Structure 1
């Protein structure tokens, strides 16, 4: 049975890395002493080692040990043997490319489907959807496919921002970009605001956090979903 936390972000304004989520993660990973960290997304071009060090410091606060996937000779074996898994944020194009190049996309989907506790933040949450096509990231590298883990029956748009009517910025809003996606695709998209996350247990998908999320469906007006909404209906 799937057990996932899919967060919009690792850090909320004024907080430390993962700080706002630690009470939830302590429960989520309660059966795990060791957690496998996938650092492939490399935010800001940070090295795998430095990224893993940041994550290790955060999880030490709840007495969990972290080992980076890049530290293993056999990444497939490491994922198969993991007690729990965390995929960090950064660039989704880079993350997806590395998962395919290391031949672990299907392996990761299978172990999480079978019950290995999983945490994603930002790009690490993006990949839980059907495709990565609703990411906000620049295409800095060309992945073999946009298809991702398919562990939830829709796509995510982490860091979702509402249009600022006072802003003089003339670029596209997030809502505009998602409408562009729906000109060619049927997949529903959930705009997940900062500090919100999804708690997935089996087929049940519950919106958590203090804020609502914005649900987009093709040829329909966007819908605001309040915290504690069950999104399982999107899989029917």
Structure 2
């Protein structure tokens, strides 16, 4: 299985996808056609055009799944698939409505590269439950694609010393998740990504690393280049009440 799971698609001072462009090019290998899944945003044409412009320097042709007569068939024939960020609830609802949950699972299992960013990275997890997004719509299920056996929290931010914010920190919210569910969570800071090639899972990034949360244990810090392959053997238990 081949995955590239980005925490974010834009980094300060850089163009869209620019911070990860070399990693994307390496992951694509010889693939020069990509199907983009834009359902996390309302302007699907504009979103697809943005991705096409960003990947043009790599010589990659981008087609929007939403523009196909049969989005599931378009994904089934894709060399690579990129699921973009936006609202995770809207995205997952659309994946179910278009038949892409099954189509994406099958195509990635048969060898196509899956690239996700933010909400698209959430989709690679077993469940939607560690997204940061507001539930603006209701998908038929929180079950996502399950391309990895652990959860990811994109855009992970550390507590800010001296902050006057009175809501929970991201760490507190993930601890609350683990009070109800027993499955590891990778907090991916901005500018980081996970790259999976078969049984190998590597943390990459331009600066910061990631934080791994597990029930009953102190969070662990990992830097770019770390091998997180142990997480591929995770056994998760979700509350179903």
TM-score (norm 1): 0.96
Partner residue of 1:123?
Answer: 119
Q: Does 1:13 align with 2:9?
A: no
C-alpha distance after superposition, 1:119-144 (max 9, x if no partner): 11000111111111000000000011
Partner residue of 2:34?
Answer: 35
SS in structure 1 of the partner of residue 131 of structure 2: coil
Runs of 4+ in 1 over 6 A off after TM superposition: none
Partner residue of 2:108?
Answer: 112
Partner residue of 1:4?
Answer: 3
SS in structure 1 of the partner of residue 174 of structure 2: helix
Partner residue of 1:82?
Answer: 78
Partner residue of 2:225?
Answer: 228
Give the whole-Å Cα distance in 1 for the aligned partners of 2:194 and 2:62. Answer: 23
C-alpha distance after superposition, 1:191-226 (max 9, x if no partner): 000000001001211101132210000121111112
Shift of 1:41: 0.5
The alignment of Structure 1 onto Structure 2 pairs a total of residues equal to 232
Q: Which piece of structure 1 moves more, 151-160 or 103-112?
A: 103-112
SS in structure 2 of the partner of residue 191 of structure 1: strand
Give the whole-Å Cα distance in 2 for the aligned partners of 1:39 and 1:76. Answer: 14
C-alpha distance after superposition, 1:161-206 (max 9, x if no partner): 0000121111110011111111110111000000000010012111
SS in structure 2 of the partner of residue 11 of structure 1: coil
| Cα-Cα RMSD | 1.0
Partner residue of 1:211?
Answer: 208
C-alpha distance after superposition, 1:34-71 (max 9, x if no partner): 110000001xx4x1001011111001111111110001
SS in structure 1 of the partner of residue 187 of structure 2: strand
Q: Of 152, 164, 181, which residue of structure 2 is paired with 1:185?
A: 181
Give the whole-Å Cα distance in 1 for the aligned partners of 2:216 and 2:230. Answer: 18
Shift of 1:30: 2.5
TM-score (norm 2): 0.94
Give the whole-Å Cα distance in 2 for the aligned partners of 1:87 and 1:215. Answer: 23
SS in structure 2 of the partner of residue 207 of structure 1: strand
